[in-house]
């Protein structure tokens, strides 16, 4: 095995291959770069020993299988070389020419590029049939996903063979088409876009992240995640995908993020992005409110009804209430359907609270909602008392179509369905990619299956109608 580029990705990939038992030659252009790569691997292995994942002896074994070199001739015996150098077509093309001059004719050359088309890079090879994409995620020893990107020149056996190899490396390979952003960098866009859109509308950034973590089930909120990645990098990825899919509005750039980049507020690395590094954002949860008296539940909110019963509250199942609604001491709360709270209130004048989606209402630590009338303090107090009586926080957000959590989840589903329609990967592959490459708690298409396609389409249709923005129109992949 050969790896070229001993940076963040190359060092990680070399470690993974050596841990899988291969002898690995790691090539870079200077002693300093090689030292940096060695340092990255040493730190990663030391961390794994400390956490009890590896013994010291196993770490030494892995290290003993690694060779560091500046001489491309040392790669001559490799049957697979993964390229992880700077993201520049010319630099990569000249490396591939030098690699082809030393490698055996049947050795496979793979690029870890995030944004350059594999078929475009392949044109610089004498033997394009041996060239593929193997897109690892950062940090490579931790993140399980590898997008395996084959092109028309490849023999049909090459993709499955590399997928098999990646499984033996302990990875989750997903075969992906050679499209900009492959799967993850394309399908994940709405997660950031919706966060920045809400930020641009003036929603509290701590509230945005809190809602998506605690009700949406995501490990990190979109704003803190973009702070971690760096807004320059995240915005550049968004820009390259937007450019590559000109006309596809699902990939639109967000002015709120552009403003951060222009202000040099790039995230943790500059000490400040959306948040000040090191400061813990505090979401504006509602203050303690009295527990509700009688609760009437319509159909379809079973998890909340069961939680209320378990909390010892007075619960009545009331078939006269519309499905997806409940009444807290006569104050109607309706589960969001893509409209704003005001829009729902216009259709049903008893609705005073729009409940935003939770991935799982039973385990969600906070209930998120909006009021049809922001000055309705009785509704605010009733909702807060209800959530708190269930042991949950209550978060009231400014009213907007689709709320925040539902809107983000349906747009992720929409992007996944687009990718499915464009044959970027199959449904299982798209879901696996989002779980193992972006740490999402569930695949976007599995979520659609959970809540029902009709409901997702309805929410998107409402969103498109109320915002007047075709960004939200349901895509063909949703089966319409
Ligand atoms: N960083 C990420 O999150 C990430 C994730 C997936 C894929 N990628 C892709 O992986 C590749 C590398 O990214 P990175 O973040 O590891 O970069 P990096 O800057 O950390 O490392 C690049 C390394 O390549 C070396 N290099 C440059 N030109 C070279 C050449 N001609 N020959 C040999 N070595 C050379 C540099 O000295 C450096 O050590 C890029 O194509 C990038 O798009 C990055």
Pocket flag, ligand 1, residue 88 (CB < 6 Å): no
Give Cβ neighbours of residue 220 (< 8 Å, ≥ 6 apart).
Answer: 209, 213, 228, 439
Average pLDDT over residues 416-430: 96
- Protein residue whose Cα sits closest to atom 18 of ligand 1: 7
Separation CA 454–CA 459 (nearest Å): 9
Question: Please, what is the average pLDDT of the chain?
Answer: 96
Pocket flag, ligand 1, residue 85 (CB < 6 Å): yes
- DSSP-H helix ranges across 147-299: 158-168, 184-187, 189-200, 205-210, 222-229, 231-244, 255-262
Tokens of 327: 């009444």
**Quick one: pLDDT band at residue 479, thresholds 50, 70, 90?**
confident
| 185 flagged as catalytic | yes
| 101 flagged as catalytic | no
Pocket flag, ligand 1, residue 228 (CB < 6 Å): no
Ligand 1 pocket test: which of 26, 38, 74, 84 has the largest number of ligand atoms within 8 Å of its C-beta? 84
Q: Which candidate in 44, 111, 135, 414 is catalytic?
A: 135
Give the HSE-up count for residue 411: Cα atoms under 13 Å, Cβ half-sphere.
30
Pocket flag, ligand 1, residue 83 (CB < 6 Å): no
End-to-end CA distance of the chain: 46
**Ramachandran region, residue 400 (left: φ > 0; alpha: ψ -120 to 50; beta: rest):** beta
Q: Which candidate in 147, 224, 286, 327 is catalytic?
A: 147
Pocket flag, ligand 1, residue 146 (CB < 6 Å): no
Which of helix, strand or coil describes residue 153?
Answer: coil
- Protein residue whose Cα sits closest to atom 20 of ligand 1: 7
Pocket flag, ligand 1, residue 110 (CB < 6 Å): no
Tokens of 221: 């909120």
| Angle in degrees, 0-180, between the axes of helices 189-200 and 231-244, rounded to the nearest 10 | 110
Average pLDDT over residues 317-339: 97
Whether the predicted pLDDT of 247 surpasses 80: no
Q: Measuring CA to CA, which residue among 422, 419, 421, 337 is closest to residue 431?
A: 419
Pocket flag, ligand 1, residue 181 (CB < 6 Å): no
**Quick one: pLDDT band at residue 476, thresholds 50, 70, 90?**
confident
| Whole-structure pTM value | 0.95
Q: Measuring CA to CA, which residue among 431, 434, 476, 474 is closest to residue 449?
A: 431
CA distances from 291 to 163, 295, 321, 383 (A): 54, 11, 21, 9
Closest ligand 1 atom number to CA of residue 85:
24
Whether the predicted pLDDT of 396 surpasses 80: yes
Phi, psi for residue 4 in degrees, rounded to 5: -115, 125
Which H or E run contains 419? helix 405-421
Q: What is the dihedral of CA 211, 214, 217, 219, to 10 degrees?
A: 100
What's the 28 CA to ligand 1 centre distance in angstroms?
10
Pocket flag, ligand 1, residue 408 (CB < 6 Å): no
Going across the sheet that includes 108-111, the strands are: 66-69, 24-27, 2-4, 80-83, 108-111, 131-136, 145-149, 172-176
Q: Measuring CA to CA, which residue among 362, 223, 366 is closest to residue 281?
A: 223
Lowest mean pLDDT among 249-258, 334-343, 371-380, 393-402: 249-258
**Residues 340, 370 contacting (CB under 8 angstroms):** yes
Going across the sheet that includes 325-328, the strands are: 314-317, 294-297, 325-328, 331-335, 351-355, 366-371, 393-396
Separation CA 246–CA 257 (nearest Å): 19
**Quick one: pLDDT band at residue 376, thresholds 50, 70, 90?**
very high
25-64 pLDDT, tens digit each: 999 999 999 999 999 999 999 999 999 999 999 999 999 9
Using a 10 angstrom Cβ sphere, with 0-12 exposed, 13-18 middle and 19 or more buried, the burial of residue 57 is exposed
Radius of gyration of the chain (CA): 25
Q: Measuring CA to CA, which residue among 132, 172, 170, 147 is closest to residue 21?
A: 170
Closest ligand 1 atom number to CA of residue 136:
6
Residue 134 confidence (pLDDT): 98
Separation CA 95–CA 90 (nearest Å): 9
**Quick one: pLDDT band at residue 246, thresholds 50, 70, 90?**
confident
Task: Check residues 389 and 249 and name the one with the higher pLDDT.
Answer: 389
Average pLDDT over residues 397-406: 98
**Residues 179, 150 contacting (CB under 8 angstroms):** no
Whether the predicted pLDDT of 96 surpasses 90: yes
């Amino acid at each position: 095995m050969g790896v070229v580029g001993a940076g963040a990705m190359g060092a990680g990939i070399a470690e993974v291959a050596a841990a899988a038992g291969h002898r690995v030659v790691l090539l870079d252009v200077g002693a300093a770069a090689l030292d940096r790569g060695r340092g990255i691997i040493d730190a990663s292995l030391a961390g794994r020993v400390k956490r009890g994942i590896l013994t010291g002896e196993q770490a030494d074994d892995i290290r003993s299988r690694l060779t560091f070199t500046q001489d491309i001739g040392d790669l001559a015996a490799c049957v697979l070389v993964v390229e992880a150098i700077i993201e520049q077509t010319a630099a990569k093309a000249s490396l591939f020419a030098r690699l082809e001059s030393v490698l055996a004719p049947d050795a496979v050359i793979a690029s870890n590029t995030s944004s350059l088309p594999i078929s475009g890079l392949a044109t610089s090879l004498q033997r394009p049939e041996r060239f593929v994409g193997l897109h690892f995620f950062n940090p490579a020893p931790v993140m399980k996903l590898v997008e395996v990107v084959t092109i028309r020149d490849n023999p049909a056996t090459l993709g499955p063979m590399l997928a098999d190899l990646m499984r033996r490396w302990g990875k989750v390979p997903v075969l992906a088409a050679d499209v900009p952003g492959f799967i993850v960098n394309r399908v994940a866009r709405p997660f950031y876009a919706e966060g920045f859109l809400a930020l641009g509308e003036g929603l509290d950034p701590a509230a945005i992240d809190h809602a998506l973590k605690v009700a949406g089930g995501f490990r990190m909120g979109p704003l803190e995640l973009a702070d971690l990645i760096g807004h320059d990098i995240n915005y550049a990825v968004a820009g390259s995908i937007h450019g590559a899919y000109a006309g596809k509005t699902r990939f639109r750039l967000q002015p709120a993020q552009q403003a951060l980049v222009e202000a040099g507020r790039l995230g943790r690395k500059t000490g400040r992005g959306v948040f000040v590094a090191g400061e813990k954002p505090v979401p504006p949860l509602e203050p303690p409110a009295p527990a509700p008296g009688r609760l009437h539940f319509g159909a379809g909110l079973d998890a909340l009804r069961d939680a209320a019963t378990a909390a010892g509250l007075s619960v009545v199942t009331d078939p006269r209430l519309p499905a997806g609604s409940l009444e807290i001491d006569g104050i109607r709360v309706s589960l969001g359907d893509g409209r704003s709270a005001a829009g729902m209130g216009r259709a049903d004048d008893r609705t005073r609270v729009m409940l935003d989606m939770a991935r799982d209402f039973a385990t969600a630590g906070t209930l998120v909602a909006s009021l049809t009338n922001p000055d309705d303090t009785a509704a605010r107090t009733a909702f807060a008392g209800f959530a708190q009586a269930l042991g949950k926080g209550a978060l009231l957000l400014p009213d907007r179509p689709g709320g925040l959590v539902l809107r983000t989840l349906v747009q992720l589903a929409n992007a996944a369905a687009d990718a499915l329609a464009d044959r970027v990967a199959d449904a299982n592959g798209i879901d696996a990619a989002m779980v193992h490459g972006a740490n999402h708690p569930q695949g976007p298409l599995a979520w659609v299956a959970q809540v029902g396609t009709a409901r997702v389409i309805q929410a998107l249709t409402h969103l498109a109608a109320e915002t007047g923005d075709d960004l939200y129109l349901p895509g063909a992949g949703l089966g319409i």
